[in-house]
Amino acid sequence: MMLLSKEEELVSSNEGKIILTNQRIHLADREWGNAYNITIFLEDISSIEMRYSSYILFIILGIIAALICSYSFLNGNDGPSAGISLIATIVFFVLYWFSRKHIVSITSHGGKALNFEAASLPEYEMQKFLTKVQEAKLQRLYQLKNLRGINV
């Protein structure tokens, strides 16, 4: 990302994929052969959301498989159904674990949202980053308010 005039980089996150400056926030990412870039000017940010998502169906199926496995072992059935349900239990819990995502979404007024996965950052670090975004937005709004008072 090239900086604009009078623009300063404040912080970067997610291995340099997200850059916060005193005027905008920029995300550049690549996955599966696709390049993705989005920039939002700080004064246009309308909301910041941090959420966790997962496929709860995997945990439900894992619990059902665990109950079937327990029932089989308690009834003395050590046959293939007990083994299959034990493997299914493990598989469903592993699928649930890998389906969990920590998503941050920064939305602009009427525009597209800047979404990124925050898996590599601890929650405290993500909170610090989002606080810096909010502080930068306030500073930008104060700067724009002061510029409007000057006749150009």
Specify the higher pLDDT residue, 35 or 15: 35
Q: How many helices (H) and strands (E) does the chain have?
A: 3, 7
Q: How many CB atoms lie within 10 A of CB 72?
A: 19
Q: What are phi and psi of 24, to 5 degrees?
A: -160, 170
CA distances from 152 to 92, 115, 148, 149 (A): 64, 37, 9, 9
Averaged pLDDT, 35-54 = 90
How much is the pLDDT for 152? Answer: 43
How much is the pLDDT for 66? Answer: 92
CA atoms of 54 and 95, how far apart (whole Å): 10
CA angle 58-32-93, nearest 5°? 15
Say what the pTM is. 0.69
pLDDT tens string 59-112: 999 999 999 888 888 887 777 777 888 899 999 999 999 998 888 899 998 888
Lowest mean pLDDT across 13-22, 71-80, 122-131? 71-80
How much is the pLDDT for 1? Answer: 78
Contact 133, 106 (CB under 8 A): yes
Whether the predicted pLDDT of 120 surpasses 80: no
How much is the pLDDT for 73? Answer: 81
Averaged pLDDT, 17-37 = 87
DSSP 52: E
Specify the higher pLDDT residue, 146 or 87: 87
